[in-house]
Amino acid sequence: MNQRTVFFVSDQTGVTAETLGHSLLTQFDGQEFRQVTVPFIDSVDKARAAVQRINAVGAREGHRPIVFSTLVQDELRHVLREADALFLDFFDAFVGPMELELSMQSSHKQGQAHGMADMASYMQRIEATNFAMAHDDGGAARNYDRADVILLGVSRSGKTPTCLYMALQYGVFAANYPLTEDDLEDGDVPAILRPHRRKLFGLTISPERLQHIRRERRAHGRYASSQQVGFELRAAEGLYRRHSIPFIDTSEKSIEEIAAAILNDTGVERRVR
């Protein structure tokens, strides 16, 4: 099967066009796609240059490319539509029905999403990220009062990337606490966490997957041994169950899925949209 080239064209970062496009491309199993992001197309000249680039690829490959566009300005969309490509524009498809529904005209201003329109939410995300960094894997400065959620789990169960993702994507203050061998042998909620019991959320993972991940880090020794991994996970899950701490298995889940499941299960609100 021939490769197709897909362009994500945006007057801004391209994040929306990429997200949108990826979701659709995953629906076409077996077709190979080459993906090219063309961001910051904010003038007619740049739009014309993008058209030339798209047409050149189509001519070379013998198949017209697919273009996912999130161009807000009619003028730029008009230029892009002249490319010899399947042109799928996001505002074309949805802005019309929304204008009708809301009985108002849209602003057609570029660069609204992923922009700095809202300084408060920007600062919120930065603060949440700093919080996650400062409260990662038992960082010294602990301010659990400020945490929206505190993730528990054994080493390499997915706590750190999940906390960072929740901070960057949702502005949520997420701390994480690594369950040490002492904690696991003790079996009780660690003393420092007891005042914050209702914020606790546990992560677990299958022994096979954890062994695989730990081996990548340290191939030999107890850390990645099946005995050690088995003990830690049994003890962690036992602790969650005994103390009614909600938990999920991260083995088959992406970072986005873990984060979305935690927000959904705990009812913690997104601080940023």
Only one of the segments 144-152, 196-204, 228-236, 252-260 lies at the binding site for a copy of itself (rule: CB under 8 A); that segment is 252-260
| 6 Cβ contact partners less than 8 Å away, ≥ 6 residues apart | 21, 25, 33, 34, 35, 36, 65, 66, 67, 68
Residue from 44, 56, 59, 113 in contact with a copy of itself (CB under 8 A): 113
Q: Does 124 bind a copy of itself (CB under 8 A)?
A: no
Of 253, 240, 266, nearest in space to 170 by CA:
266
- DSSP strand pairing (66-70 vs 86-89): parallel
Contact code string over 11-50 relative to a copy of itself, x by CB under 8 A:
-xxxxx-xxx-xxx-xxxxxx---x-x-xx----------
Considering only residues 222-251, where is the footprint of a copy of itself by CB under 8 A? Answer: none
Cβ proximity to a copy of itself: between 103 and 227 the closer is 103
Q: State in angstroms the smallest separation of the CB of 170 from a copy of itself.
A: 10
Considering only residues 192-221, where is the footprint of a copy of itself by CB under 8 A? Answer: 216
Q: Catalogue the long-range contacts made by 75-84 (C-beta closer than 8 Å, 24 or more residues apart).
A: 75/44, 76/11, 76/41, 76/42, 76/43, 76/44, 76/47, 79/44, 79/47, 79/48, 79/51, 80/9, 80/41, 80/47, 80/50, 80/51, 82/51, 83/50, 83/51, 83/54, 83/55, 84/54, 84/55, 84/58
Q: State in angstroms the smallest separation of the CB of 212 from a copy of itself.
A: 9
Q: State in angstroms the smallest separation of the CB of 197 from a copy of itself.
A: 26
Residue from 42, 58, 255, 266 in contact with a copy of itself (CB under 8 A): 255
Contact code string over 143-182 relative to a copy of itself, x by CB under 8 A:
-----------------xx--xx--xx-------------
Helix H or strand E encompassing 266: helix 255-266
**188 vs 195: CA distance, rounded Å:** 13
Considering only residues 45-84, where is the footprint of a copy of itself by CB under 8 A? Answer: 64, 66, 70, 72
Q: Does 5 bind a copy of itself (CB under 8 A)?
A: no
Q: State in angstroms the smallest separation of the CB of 95 from a copy of itself.
A: 6
